[in-house]
Chains A and B, each alone.
Chain A
Amino acid sequence: MNNSELINESLIALNVRAKTKDEALKKVANIAFNAGRVKSAKNYLDGLMERENTSTTGFGGGIAIPHAKIDEVLKPTITVIKLKEAVEWKAMDDKPVQLLIALAIPTKQEGTLHLKLLAKLSENLMEEEFTDSLLSANTENEIYQTITSIFE
């Protein structure tokens, strides 16, 4: 797999409407399913919610990194959603979440490249310069470019 296979513009959605965290996660699951990345939107959604119930993935600054590692993932995937209005997330800083960077990870791994790239993405989420550019992006392409730039 090359660097860009984890994400493409069909996996990025802006101005998404959701009233709750569950609705936002459902949008993520549907986008990943419609892009042919997971076998079942429901299984992915269940996985995301289960992880969320263990401990919050809202790490502060209005961003969350919901993720699920399940059998039904066809291809390791990053889905990005920017909500029209932020939703309550029980985040680490108690602030509502507007940007979701969601991961779908297959249980069975073929190589570790995608895991390395996801680790790199996670590390970059601790850098304000990176999160600021994601938060201020106005187009799918800007988000795509920002994320794939760290994989180069």
Chain B
Amino acid sequence: MNIVAVTACPAGVAHTYMAKKGLEKAAKKLGHKIKVETQGSMGIENEIKVKDLEKADLVIFAVDTKVEKANRFDDKTIHEVPVAAAVKNATKVIEDATAKL
């Protein structure tokens, strides 16, 4: 499965990047491809582009803040969780999201 995800937290320094790593590790373990965009204190990095969205089967937001450029995802069903969920147990986040498809 192709997954795209956005992570963001208020300070944009710690949890944004922990959640990114958590999701990447969990996706690998579960046999999915994932691209994680971080919206942290350095702005948007690894930005999800139209071509990424075209092939995406699943969109995950692991965020405690408003997602920037959220209109990119208007046509998609978004599975949204608090950023902490992806830090604590990203495998569960992905499993829950895929179960809903």
Binding site for B on A (CB under 8 A): 51, 54-57, 59-60, 65, 67-69, 92-93, 103, 105, 109, 112, 115-116, 118-120, 122-127
Query: Which residues in window 1-50 of B have CB below 8 A to A?
Result: 10-11, 13-18, 20-22, 25, 38, 40-42
Number of A-B residue pairs, CB cutoff 8 Å, is 65
Complex interface: chain A residues within 8 A of B14 (CB): 57, 65, 67, 103, 118, 122
Binding site for A on B (CB under 8 A): 10-11, 13-18, 20-22, 25, 38, 40-42, 64, 82, 84, 87-88
Closest chain-A Cβ to B63's Cβ sits at a distance in Å of: 12
Q: Is the Cβ of A67 less than 8 Å from the Cβ of B18?
A: no
Q: Is the Cβ of A126 less than 8 Å from the Cβ of B64?
A: no
Complex interface: chain A residues within 8 A of B16 (CB): 119, 122
Q: Is the Cβ of B11 less than 8 Å from the Cβ of A69?
A: yes
